[in-house]
Homo-oligomer: A and B are copies of this chain.
Amino acid sequence: MNLPSQVHITEVGPRDGLQNEKQQVPATVKVELCERLLAAGVDHFEATSFVSPKWVPQMADAAEVMAALPRPQGVIVSVLTPNLKGFESALAAGADEVVIFGAASEAFSQRNINCSIAESIERFRPVADAAKANGLRLRAALSTAFGCPYQGDVPVSAVVDGVERLRDLGCDEIGIADTIGVGTPGQVQRVMEAAARVYPIAQLSGHFHDTYGQALANILACLQAGVARFDSSIAGLGGCPYAKGATGNVATEDVVYMLHGLGIRTGLDLDRLVDAGQWISGFLGRKSLSRAGNALAARRQREQSEAEASA
């Protein structure tokens, strides 16, 4: 297999993950989660969203979280900012990166943000311009790139079109997202290769959901296509299988377990990631959604009991 020697992981648990958890999480817990992720070597993470608290009550404490976060050098703290108001708050809070969300599916754009894809790009333009003017990194997510809950199939050409529009906004990174987790590896490889023909592959990332169990196979297919950046969510946060509208973010521990097994460097400490994942799952009062996380935690417990028994 021809694979990248190093992969960059953007941890999305504290934002994309927690935002999709029903239970309100206090700012102190969010901050401790970020601290634990930093201790595991995470150097790029989504901390919060500057959005209306009416729409997303879980993120109402955005400024409080940002103010309390440790800010080690070289770590990119990323926030979601759908509009200029959000951007101003993010700037004031000292974000390193802002994220905007486009869609590859016209039907999804209409149903989700009440405008066409073309109109959504125009809405993002002031945010993009402000980010560039203020020296912030600008990342875009292109949702429903592998299938849409409303229109079904999404043609590759629509993804390429979306990547070109976001590229022209000046995005430093574009994440191709399987919002509903329906993609399979061959399709993923074709889409990534097509996207890489109009945008530098080093700035392309993959964002996969494990709703259909396909996320790791899709990431493997991406690696083989030369993609070396992925989003993942500690403990699979945001993907509660018992919640309606479960998003099913792929779990960071599962991704890192595979990458390290493939001999790919991530700069992350899997043991500490497992700790962080078990800790936040404990807070949420449920089992972690990371299979590797649970298996490694159980193995550790078994080894500990055996050591104690033989002591």
Contact = CB atoms under 8 A, between A and B. Distances in A.
A97 interface: no
B216 A213 contact: yes
Interface of A: 1, 3, 181, 183-187, 189, 210-214, 216-217, 219-221, 224, 241, 248, 251, 254, 257-258, 260-263, 287, 290-292, 294-296
Given A186-B263, A263-B186, A257 B220 contact: no
Given A254-B212, A254-B213, A290-B213, A185 B295 contact: no
A212 B1 contact: no
Contact of A211 (B181, B241, B295): B295
A295 B257 contact: no
A185 B261 contact: yes
A89 to B, nearest CB: 36
Given A184-B260, A213-B292, A216-B216, 7 more contacts: A183-B261, A185-B258, A210-B291, A212-B254, A213-B291, A241-B291, A241-B294
Nearest to A189: B1
Main SS of chain A's interface residues? helix
Contacts of A294: 241
Contacts of A216: 213-214, 216-217
Given A213-B254, A217-B219, A184 B262 contact: yes
A37 B294 CA distance: 31
B184 A214 contact: no
Given A213-B216, A290-B213, A187 B295 contact: no
Contact of A295 (B212, B219, B295): B212
A102 to B, nearest CB: 24
A181 B186 CA distance: 24
B292 A258 contact: no
The listed residue with most B CB atoms (<10 A of its CB), out of A185, A254, A294, is A185
Top 4 nearest A-B pairs by Cβ distance?
Answer: A184-B261, A213-B291, A213-B254, A216-B217
A212 B292 contact: yes
Given A213-B290, A295-B211, A261 B187 contact: yes
13 contacts: A184-B260, A185-B261, A185-B262, A186-B263, A210-B213, A212-B291, A212-B296, A213-B254, A216-B217, A217-B219, A217-B258, A220-B221, A241-B291
